Amino acid sequence: MDIFNSLLVSLPIADMGGAFLDSSFSGKAIVIILGFGSAGAWTIMITKGWQLKLAGNATAAFLAAFRTERNPTALFTKREEYRGSPLNTIYKAGCNALGGELQAHGIDPDDLLMGDLTSESHRRLNRSQMETLRAVVDRNVADEVLNLEEQMGLLATAVSAAPFLGLLGTVWGVMEAFSGMAQSGSAALSAVAPGISAALLTTIVGLLVALPSMIGYNLLSAKIRQISVQMDNFSQEFVSAIQNSYVIEG
């Protein structure tokens, strides 16, 4: 225990509060800006992480329900909702587009809520109409991807800009420290050490902002990529199911 205590006494302990007080106005301003940036980055990571968690759970439930039904519009006819899942939004848009195309053949789109839609009287979609339906689904997939990626650009900015902003503060602070040493005419280390210590604070704070933001960005990007792949796969699965149910070959 005595050895451990002696090591603690001998280790240099960085006083970040003292370094902040010793900083110049520019150094303090950069630290405050980085502090706001850190708060913003953590807010984005927490809210986006919660959004993606809900989306992932709702998507898993939606896919399980969709794949247990024989009719691709069964969930739409039952008016089942899976809030938070981007697949649910894509699915509803596709079913509404299907209703519009059926209406073009004189079929009441409200029949989508009546159950049996795979009878021959409903199987009247042609290739051109299927391409229209596919375009609607693809457009909604792209919109949902943009929604998932919202604010990720700000998080990426925090990852890349925070270290450089901290480095700017350090270089600026070191320059001011040496300038003060030249004006005082003293070359003693004690004259320049407090200024350099305060200057290095901005680099430390910049790294404390960038490192968690980088980890959070990578984790969130991986989850967004996973859900995006699920949306692409579902769009192809849904369009194929509609084609099998509503298109008569020949």
Residue 38 included in any domain = yes
DSSP 23: S
Concatenated DSSP letters of 80-126: ---TT-HHHHHHHHHHHHHHHHHHTTT--GGGGGSS---STTT--B-
pLDDT value, residue 207: 92
pLDDT value, residue 7: 45
- Summarize pLDDT for 40-51 with one digit per residue, the tens: 999 999 999 999
pLDDT value, residue 124: 67
Contact between 203 and 169 under an 8 Å Cβ cutoff? The reply is yes
pLDDT value, residue 212: 94
pLDDT value, residue 69: 85
Residue 123 included in any domain = yes
H or E element that contains 205: helix 189-246
Residue 3 included in any domain = no
Residue 15 included in any domain = no
Contact between 250 and 126 under an 8 Å Cβ cutoff? The reply is no
Which tokens is 94 given?
């596709």
pLDDT value, residue 216: 95
Residue 1 included in any domain = no
Domain count for the chain: 1
| Residue span of the structural domain in which 179 resides | 22-246
Residue 69 included in any domain = yes
pLDDT value, residue 26: 78
Residue 192 included in any domain = yes
**CA 109 to each of CA 98, 112, 218: distance values in angstroms, whole numbers, following the listed order:** 8, 6, 44
DSSP 188: -
Q: Which residues in the chain land under pLDDT 70?
A: 1-23, 104-124, 180-195, 248-250
Residue 171 included in any domain = yes
3-class DSSP string for 150-181: CCHHHHHHHHHHHHHHHHHHHHHHHHHHHHHH
